[in-house]
Amino acid sequence: MRYIVSICLCFFALLSEGNNVRIVGTVKTPQSGIEGDIVSVYFTLEWENSWRDSYNHDAVYVTLRYKFMNASPEIWYPL
């Protein structure tokens, strides 16, 4: 029985997908948000096939990277 339930959950997980994730509006990094090595970044995300309602909420994993301007070679670092 557990095996059948596990297969069904995996199958339905493959069918549930959100796509076309995008940043809407502008990305803000206010000067007051810069303190030492910490920078605050504010932005709004939207995506299609969302199932958000009064009880459920979607989520998106966001990874940010940065690079130094005019650096040679151009290397991106994770935050």
Task: Give a yes or no: residue 10 inside a domain.
Answer: no
Task: Give a yes or no: residue 60 inside a domain.
Answer: yes
Task: Give a yes or no: residue 59 inside a domain.
Answer: yes
CA-based R_g, the chain, Å = 19
Task: Give a yes or no: residue 11 inside a domain.
Answer: no
pTM of the predicted model as reported, rounded to 2 decimal places = 0.56
How many C-beta atoms lie closer than 10 Å to residue 50's C-beta?
Answer: 12
pLDDT (tens digit, 0 to 9) for every residue of the chain, 79 residues total? 777 777 766 666 655 566 788 889 998 888 776 778 788 889 998 888 777 788 878 888 888 888 888 888 889 998 7
How many C-beta atoms lie closer than 10 Å to residue 31's C-beta?
Answer: 5
**Total domains in the fold of the chain:** 1
Residue 10 has what pLDDT?
A: 61
What is the residue type of 67? K
Task: Give a yes or no: residue 5 inside a domain.
Answer: no
Is there a cis peptide before residue 73, judged by omega within 30 degrees of 0?
A: yes
Domain that holds residue 56: 18-78
Task: Give a yes or no: residue 31 inside a domain.
Answer: yes
Task: Give a yes or no: residue 42 inside a domain.
Answer: yes
**DSSP 3-state of 9:** helix
